[in-house]
Structure 1
Amino acid sequence: MDPPGITPIFLALTSGRPAKVQKKMAFQAVCVAFGVIAVFGVVGQQILDYLHVSTQALMIAGGLLLLLVALDLLTGKTDEPKQTKDVNVALVPLGMPLLAGPGAIVQVILAVQHASAAEQVSVWAAILAIHVVLFLAMRFSLLIIRVIKDGGVVLVTRLAGMMLSAIAVQQIVNGVTQIIRGG
């Protein structure tokens, strides 16, 4: 989870919407991310075991999904389809997989599994704190739009797509490397 890094992606995915809607989307995205992280923190390993999915496979799948989102940002296809203009991007891709992505899910599963009873409080406090910081980063990123205008949003969108594609590829590489190493 990367509060400064989500700013350009949030701006790119919510551009063209009224500020009030963008603020609502920031809150919704954080709520979705927190819900996903909380569920996986509590029963994540059981879900993966039931589905016979390894954490490495989750990382690779998430990387591929992020790559698709990144390619849309790079090519500008997020603006083209009219039927998706009303889709709430706060849920997908912002809430999941950008905020509550496979990397965050895997880390939360591992942190909760390896924490003692006393450390559980710290783990959950950290999870709550990062979500508050994510909301504040997205909420106040709307001030940036006033400065960069529409041309800047297009530039930020392409830059976000490029950076997101690099993150996606790295996530795929990490998953494949872990599979090759056997763990």
Structure 2
Amino acid sequence: MDLPFALDLALAVQAFVTLLVIMDPLGNVPVFLALTATDTAARRRRTARHAMTAAAVIVYVFAFFGTQILASLSIGLPALQAGGGVVLFLTALEMLKGDILVPSAAEGVNVAVVPLGVPLLAGPGAISAAMVFMSGSETGPLDVGRQLTVALAIAAVLLVVYLTMRYAELLERLLKDNGIHLVTRVMGMLLIAISIELVATAVQAYVAGASALP
């Protein structure tokens, strides 16, 4: 039986790679281990699940409803792309610096929610990227198939993030600090390219819109 919609493989790969680079699960391994240094193995696994859940809620809410909020403020897709590109560029610069800073846990708040879930995983970069992928085009919103494609890509990234935290100790032993720093810097370079592409696309849209005016 044919499905009433089709998944977009190219869009899925693009969304998956972009969000994976932004969330940088390997780069967050030292942070996760530092924040859960006194926890048992069982508690670390629970923290990993809760952090993934918190990130999922935030990313999905903004992915599906963020553009509607912006639309109510008369903010169009090019502005969203340009803003998202700038945020991603700043995130990439932090990744290229390679400094691993462990944020302080908020008093009375589960570290799985703050700072792991938000803002380390579901930060401004991930939220902006999810909104851009889910926002469709100037000709109209994404169809059901493409919305499902983006949603599945987000789910795949969150699964990778969870597995990375779940096996953080093993990954740290295998990669060591130098390996983690190297991967983070490479992802930072990729993210810079992605951010520039977003800004360039937004500029092209603005130029095309201006040239279409009488």
TM-score scaled by length of structure 1: 0.74
Amino acid paired to 2:16: D
TM-score scaled by length of structure 2: 0.65
User: CA deviation digits over 1:20-73, x for unaligned, max 9?
Assistant: 445543332222111211223xxx34x233322121011101111111111011
Describe the SS at the equivalent of 2:32. coil
The answer to whether 1:9 aligns with 2:36 is no
Q: Is the 8 A contact 1:63 1:171 kept in 2?
A: yes
Structure 1's 93 and 137: CA in aligned 2 closer, same or farther, altered over 3 A? same
Return the alpha-carbon distance in structure 2 between the equivalents of residues 100 and 140 of structure 1. Answer: 21
**The one of 67, 70, 86 aligned to 1:64:** 86
| Aligned equivalent of 2:65 | 39
Structure 1, unaligned stretches of length 5 or more? none
The answer to whether 1:109 aligns with 2:135 is yes
Structure 2, unaligned stretches of length 5 or more? 1-14, 34-43, 106-113
The answer to whether 1:136 aligns with 2:164 is no
Structure 1's 114 and 138: CA in aligned 2 closer, same or farther, altered over 3 A? closer
Amino acid paired to 2:51: M
Structure 1's 114 and 101: CA in aligned 2 closer, same or farther, altered over 3 A? closer
Q: Provide the aligned C-alpha RMSD in A.
A: 3.0
Aligned residues: 170
Return the alpha-carbon distance in structure 1 between the equivalents of residues 196 and 160 of structure 2. Answer: 25
| Aligned equivalent of 2:208 | 181
Return the alpha-carbon distance in structure 1 between the equivalents of residues 116 and 91 of structure 2. Answer: 11
| Aligned equivalent of 2:110 | none
| Aligned equivalent of 1:27 | 53
The answer to whether 1:171 aligns with 2:195 is no
Structure 1's 145 and 139: CA in aligned 2 closer, same or farther, altered over 3 A? farther
Identity across matched positions, percent: 22
In the TM superposition, residue 114 of structure 1 has moved relative to its aligned partner by 5.6
Amino acid paired to 1:141: T
Structure 1's 175 and 92: CA in aligned 2 closer, same or farther, altered over 3 A? farther
